[in-house]
């Protein structure tokens, strides 16, 4: 039984060989490969190797060799069609059947591939021939070395209407085949076909396995169109292919390069030549869903590096919007913001690879790109305008299919950024300390009003203390819901280690947003009713037992508003310290690599925040969290 080659290619691309082999034998990482004892013969010393980038396994003991299909046939004693059926089920693909017409088409595609490969060789020859001197000088003038020109198989299509057609005819390729491969064109108003590419520098376009399937051609002057791409053919589909994907797969897999998306061929080649070997480009279109899927197969967070002009920024927004419905945990896009006058090629030429490397350290996420595009539409200085922004963001949220990712974006856009707008002095947990005096402690220092002062008992296990503090925050909100209005941003940022507590926190934030949308007040009875409607009545009840206030009287219903607010903010601050320390560590590492003014300023600001916490008693060994402060949380 025959299967379409494109289907088999997709099947191999969707399945990671090591994950399939790993079900049969224990794999151990060995550099860029995995090694194991061969599952096909008895051995004590591992001689069986798996290479995910090249998609093959090999045993140096028994000689077994093949791809994921061959492994499944051997391991499960299946025929080729049976192995295909099994793997297609795992990959979520429907198995197509090839009839006589499909088989003829597959054979035709092989022959078309031969024709396109022959054209590539001919273009390469012409680049080094006398008629290609200007094209070769152009490429050298753009900063490309001879090694790079050879690696990317660049060529030249000379002036003239039938040069390629005549050359390939002598090599046995007929006119119908050249038309189908997109190498020649035959308009209705011309008596005979002519070469599709003329007087252009040629860029071969390859599939993910490195086989030439199409071309892009660039003029060497200011004539239009500057770039001309092959039309779609049985070999080539513009929306599904990426320029240099085969080289980027190896760069990311073998050399741990970052996956980068540039705008054009020259950008990609310049990036590879400068050492950024994970670069690809779409083929004259905005990034498509198919191209993003191909990118995520090689890297979970590709970086989109589009030109810094207005058109480039519009392309970034379009890419972000295209990606939203496809996002899942472990899938993201980042965006490198280039100077307005630059593309990757020009930036590297002027300032070197180090400048581009620094640019990649300051990327934006999809959340930033969408948020900034909405803010650019107009002021958000009134409740009505912020409500319009809220509606626009929620329309974007509705496009995210994965609920986990959708909730994360909602917390970022709605509960962090949107609530910060219009607030003259946002309440941050790290600044939520009181300066009220108390008797001097060890060393005569004055200390902050800490959770201990509200009854939070010390204990030896920092994890237990963290979970206890998180539950106190929830209890305080149940008894004093107005704390949500004042501290929603900080409350949403705290990392909850207990899954049930995290679920309750999300439900409380939802409740607050619904109340805001309905312009209704928050009260304990309404909050508890909301939790009950979400199936969390038992969990809410456990938080409001009298014993729940033992470790924090400020959270109880009898506490005054000032006591509840002071205790709530103090616990928030202590739980926030690990994040501040981690941010400071990350900022310090960034400064070590590139001591730029904005990074130095961030280190100074974070250091001052942490110093303020410590100076006010937050790290005192007799505070609520014991010696070492919150770093153990």
Please tell me which residue, 629 or 524, carries the higher pLDDT value.
524
Q: Which residues, at least 6 apart from 20, have a Cβ–Cβ distance to it below 8 Å?
A: 68, 71, 72, 87, 90
DSSP tag of 417: I
Name the β-bridge partners of 364. 335
Using one digit for the tens of pLDDT, what is the confidence trace for 393-415? 999 999 999 998 998 999 889 88
Closest CA to 271 of 333, 218, 338, 345: 345
Backbone angles phi, psi at 81, to 5 degrees: -60, -35
Q: What is the mean pLDDT of residues 43-55?
A: 87
Does residue 248 have a pLDDT over 90? yes
Structure tokens at 515: 């109340």
For residues 520 and 231, give the distance between their C-alpha atoms in angstroms, rounded to a whole number.
59
For residues 539 and 60, give the distance between their C-alpha atoms in angstroms, rounded to a whole number.
58
Burial of 589 from C-beta contacts in 10 A (0-12 / 13-18 / 19+): exposed
The angle subtended at Cα 239 by Cα 235 and Cα 240, nearest 5°, is: 60
Using one digit for the tens of pLDDT, what is the confidence trace for 149-203? 999 999 999 999 999 999 999 988 989 999 999 999 988 777 789 999 999 999 9
For residues 323 and 304, give the distance between their C-alpha atoms in angstroms, rounded to a whole number.
12
Structure tokens at 428: 């941050």
Does residue 269 have a pLDDT over 80? yes
Q: With pLDDT > 90 as the criterion, what percentage of the chain qualifies?
A: 38
Name the 3-class secondary structure at 41.
coil
DSSP tag of 632: G
Distance (Å) of CA 472 to CA 134, 162, 571: 75, 81, 8
pLDDT at residue 309, rounded to an integer: 76
Does residue 226 have a pLDDT over 70? yes
Backbone angles phi, psi at 203, to 5 degrees: -115, 105
Q: What is the mean pLDDT of residues 213-228?
A: 92
pLDDT at residue 452, rounded to an integer: 41
C-beta separation of 332 from 412 below 8 A: no
Flag the least confident range among 23-37, 321-335, 510-524, 562-576. Answer: 510-524
| DSSP string covering 432-476 | ----------GGG------GGGGTPPP-S-HHHHHHHHHHHHHHH
Does residue 610 have a pLDDT over 80? no
C-beta separation of 281 from 264 below 8 A: yes
Q: Is the peptide bond before 365 cis (omega within 30 degrees of 0)?
A: no
pLDDT at residue 517, rounded to an integer: 60
Name the β-bridge partners of 204. 215
pTM listed for this prediction? 0.60
Model confidence at 615, in pLDDT bands (50, 70, 90)? very low
Q: What is the mean pLDDT of residues 40-59?
A: 88
Model confidence at 343, in pLDDT bands (50, 70, 90)? confident
Name the β-bridge partners of 155. 202
Using one digit for the tens of pLDDT, what is the confidence trace for 446-487? 333 333 434 444 444 566 777 888 888 888 888 888 887 777
| DSSP string covering 66-84 | E-HHHHHHHHHT--HHHHH
Structure tokens at 318: 């379009």
Q: Is the peptide bond before 225 cis (omega within 30 degrees of 0)?
A: yes
Exposure string of 201-217, with b = 16+ CB inside 10 Å and e = fewer, is bbbbbbbbeeebbbbbb
């Amino acid at each position: 039984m025959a299967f379409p080659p494109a289907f088999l290619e997709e099947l191999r691309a969707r399945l990671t060989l090591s994950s399939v082999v790993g079900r049969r034998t224990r794999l151990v990482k060995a550099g860029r490969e995995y090694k194991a004892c061969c599952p096909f013969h008895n051995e004590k010393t591992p001689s069986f190797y798996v290479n995910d980038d090249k998609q093959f396994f090999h045993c140096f003991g028994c000689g077994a060799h093949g791809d994921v299909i061959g492994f499944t046939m051997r391991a499960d004693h299946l025929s080729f069609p049976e192995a295909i059926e099994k793997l297609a089920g795992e990959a979520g693909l429907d198995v197509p059947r090839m009839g006589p017409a499909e088989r003829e088409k597959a054979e035709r595609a092989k022959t078309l591939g031969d024709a396109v490969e022959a054209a590539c060789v001919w273009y390469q020859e012409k680049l080094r021939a006398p008629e290609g001197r200007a094209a070769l000088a152009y490429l050298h003038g753009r900063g490309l070395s001879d090694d790079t020109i050879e690696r990317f198989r660049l060529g030249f299509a000379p002036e003239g209407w039938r040069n390629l057609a005549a050359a390939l005819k002598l090599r046995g390729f007929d006119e119908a085949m050249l038309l189908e491969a997109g190498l020649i064109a035959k308009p209705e108003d011309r008596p005979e076909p002519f070469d599709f590419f003329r007087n252009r520098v040629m860029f071969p376009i390859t599939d993910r396995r490195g086989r030439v399937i199409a071309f892009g051609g660039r003029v060497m002057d200011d004539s239009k169109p500057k770039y001309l791409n092959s039309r779609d053919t049985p070999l080539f589909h513009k929306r599904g292919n990426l320029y240099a994907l085969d080289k980027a797969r190896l760069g990311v897999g073998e050399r741990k390069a970052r996956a980068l998306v540039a705008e054009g061929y020259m950008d990609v080649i310049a990036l590879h030549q400068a050492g950024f070997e994970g670069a690809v480009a779409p083929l004259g279109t905005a990034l498509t869903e198919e191209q993003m899927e191909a990118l995520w197969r090689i890297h979970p967070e590709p970086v989109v590096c589009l030109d810094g002009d207005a058109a480039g920024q519009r392309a970034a927004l379009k890419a972000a919007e295209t990606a939203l419905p496809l996002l899942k945990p472990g899938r993201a896009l980042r965006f490198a913001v280039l100077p307005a006058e630059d593309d990757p090629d020009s930036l590297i030429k002027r300032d070197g690879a180090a400048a581009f490397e620094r640019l990649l350290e300051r990327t934006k996420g999809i959340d930033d790109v969408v948020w900034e595009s909405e803010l650019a539409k107009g002021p958000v200085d009134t409740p009505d305008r912020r409500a319009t922004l809220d509606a626009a963001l929620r329309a974007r949220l509705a496009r995210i299919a994965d609920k986990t990712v959708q909730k994360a974006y909602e917390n970022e856009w709605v509960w962090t950024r949107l609530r910060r707008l219009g607030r003259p002095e946002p309440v941050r947990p790290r600044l939520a300390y009181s300066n009220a005096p108390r008797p001097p402690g060890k060393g005569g220092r004055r200390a902050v009003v800490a959770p201990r002062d509200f009854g939070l008992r010390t204990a030896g296990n920092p994890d237990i203390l963290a979970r206890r503090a998180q539950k106190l925050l929830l209890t305080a909100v149940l008894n004093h819901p107005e704390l949500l209005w004042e501290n929603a941003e900080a409350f949403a940022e705290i990392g909850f280690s207990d899954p049930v507590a995290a679920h309750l926190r999300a439900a409380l934030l939802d409740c607050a947003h619904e109340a805001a949308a309905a312009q209704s007040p928050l009260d304990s009875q309404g909050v508890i009713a909301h939790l009950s409607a979400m199936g969390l009545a038992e969990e809410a009840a456990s938080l409001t037992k009298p014993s729940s206030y033992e470790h924090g009287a400020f959270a109880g219903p009898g506490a005054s508003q000032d006591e509840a607010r002071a205790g709530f903010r103090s616990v928030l601050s202590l739980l926030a310290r690990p994040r501040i320390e981690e941010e400071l560590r990350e900022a310090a590492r960034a400064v070590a690599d590139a001591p730029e003014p904005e990074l130095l300023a961030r280190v100074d600001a974070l250091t001052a925040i942490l110093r303020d916490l410590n100076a006010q008693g937050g790290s005192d060994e007799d505070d609520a969290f014991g010696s070492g402060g919150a770093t153990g949380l």
